[in-house]
Structure 1
Amino acid sequence: MPDLTELNVRVLQTELVWQDAAANRLQLAKQLLDCTGADVIVLPEMFSSGFSMQSADIAEPEGETLNWLKQQAVLTQAALVGSVATRIKQGCVNRCYFVTPDGEVTYYDKKHLFRMAGEHQAYVAGNERVVVRYRGWRLLLQVCYDLRFPVFSRNRNDYDIALYVANWPAARAHAWRTLLQARAIENQAYVLGCNRVGTDGNGISYRGDSLIVDFLGKPLADVAPASPAILAAALNLAALNQYRQQFPAYLDTDAFALIPAKL
């Protein structure tokens, strides 16, 4: 596929059926019909199950939902992004997939596991930061709680868009919106945040507050809280590069490297 100076993105803010992958795939397939003209479509975290810690029951081997993503990428002719509870040899991971219409699959396993919900006990943490290249753009894959860790998502002049898929509770909505805009400003990059709405099987409420933010931290697409919606925006690579040239703050960043802590 040719490179694109303008990337049309969609963020699908939706309710999720608790621990029912087939029902979620069915409802999302219907909603994807309204995402025509998109180049990239972002789904929430654990879109096939909701944010469940019953990993032994819901985690899938790389099979049915991944194949569904491949099928939907072909049907929509867009790259699809979203995370799925996935079973691998080492255990279960919260795996964010990036699937293109030509069948190419890139994935990122969530590094920062939300210990307040016991995610660190139910899933294995990833250890690799992942940037995917697609149609001339560079996209950083991130999942929910990763948003609170700016060092991990720091732009090393290697991405243009940061994608955050989430099940971020309504009780902390202010932090969600504030941090999405902060990540865009400090990294001079577009940021897409996709959060679910509704109530999960644990009684936790989600109000969405999904956002598409430009490199100045200004919302390009916003939506009323607590309602299913599809956010749409056209991202311009030339405008991003021009801004970075005119205001090259990245040239003054502090040099450092992450060193694993000794236990």
Structure 2
Amino acid sequence: MQDLRVTLIQADLVWQQPEANRTQFEQIFAELEGTTDLIVLPEMFTTGFTMAPETLAEPIDGETARWLKQQAEHLDAAIVGSVVTQVGDHYRNRCFFTQPNGEQTVYDKRHLFRMGGEHNHYEAGRERVVVEYKGWRIMPQICYDLRFPAFSRNHNEYDLLIYVANWPKPRRNPWRTLLQARAIENQSYVAGVNRVGIDGSGLAYSGDSLLVDFMGERLVDQVPDQAFVETFTLDALALNDFRERFPAWMDADAFDLKL
């Protein structure tokens, strides 16, 4: 397990225009060649948090999925972010974890944001997913999942927990607090990447993307309401040393999730 360079990209999203958003991120990627191992994008990074999957959903091997493979190969870095996806007769808020070798692992958002009507348009996922990459065990999750700690409970299964999000500005304090809580209780690094700007529904987003260590210390925390790109190197030895010195996970309660 080696150190891992993680890049957070906090950006404004062009409302429901996948090509424009892909172009925006491709321009940002051009500045990252050779500088990172893992790039984290916001939730629904090609559209914003849309409730119009009937017109915007892509097939599982659609243009954005192929684009992610091309970009990951070119950058020699993994890329993670969620896309509105059609799966059979249903729509999913699907997170793609794409590695440079073309391997693509998907996670479908489990907890759908009913206050925004997401449960009326999308089908919930049924599985937790852990991806192995460069010796790291990484669990991707999406936005509202952050409020459900049992779903992300770490039984020594992962080293990095990722939340991609469109989390509105009025609830920025829970976002920031819960990211730190998930890091502390799971003795894991946590990356949370949110968007900025105002979407087509009139919702404002402050960003507040964070990278947090296993003690809850903020490693990346920039001013709100501004787009940014920042890369930070995660220290594998520090994580493993802390877990050995303070193995709280060994005393965790055992339970089974009924999904």
**1:196–1:206 CA contact under 8 A, matched in 2:** yes
| 1:58 counterpart residue number | 56
Measured after TM superposition, the shift of residue 243 of structure 1 is 0.1
Aligned runs of 1:66-215 on 2, under 5 Å? 66-215=65-214
Kindly state the Cα deviation for residue 76 of structure 1 after the two structures are TM-superposed: 1.3
CA distance in structure 1 between the aligned counterparts of 2:95 and 2:79, rounded to whole angstroms: 10
Question: Matches of 2:107 and 2:257 in 1, distance apart?
Answer: 18
1:20 lines up with 2:13 in the alignment: no
- Aligned residue pairs total 257
Distance in 1, matches of 2:76 and 2:196, equals 26
Q: Note if 1:239 corresponds to 2:226.
A: no
Using the alignment, how far apart are the partners of 2:255 and 2:87 within structure 1? 33
Aligned to 1:151, what secondary structure does the other structure show?
helix
Query: Which residue, 5, 8, 13 being the options, matches 1:11?
Result: 8
- Which stretches in structure 2 are left out of the alignment for 5+ residues? none
Amino acid of the residue matched to residue 54 of structure 1? Answer: A
Provide the rounded CA distance (Å) in 2 between the counterparts of 1:241 and 1:113.
Answer: 33
SS at match of 2:197: strand
The CA deviation at 1:222 is: 1.1
Q: Cα RMSD over matched residues?
A: 0.9
Cα deviation digits, residues 224-258 of structure 1 (max 9, x gap): 10000012210011110110000011111111212
1:42 and 1:143 map into 2 onto residues whose CA distance is 12
Cα offsets for 1:155-191 (capped at 9, x unmatched): 0110000000000000000000000000000000000
TM-score, scaled to structure 2:
0.98
Poorly superposed stretches of 4+, deviation over 6 Å: none
Letter in 1 for 2:13: L
Instruction: Note if contact 1:162-1:190 (Cα within 8 Å) is conserved in structure 2.
Output: yes
1:102-126: per-residue Cα shift (whole Å, max 9, x none)? 1000000000000000000110000
Q: Distance in 1 between matches of 2:31 and 2:187?
A: 30
- Output the amino acid matched with 1:42: V
Gaps of 5+ in 1: none
Indicate whether 1:34 and 2:16 are aligned.
no
Percent identity between the two aligned chains: 55
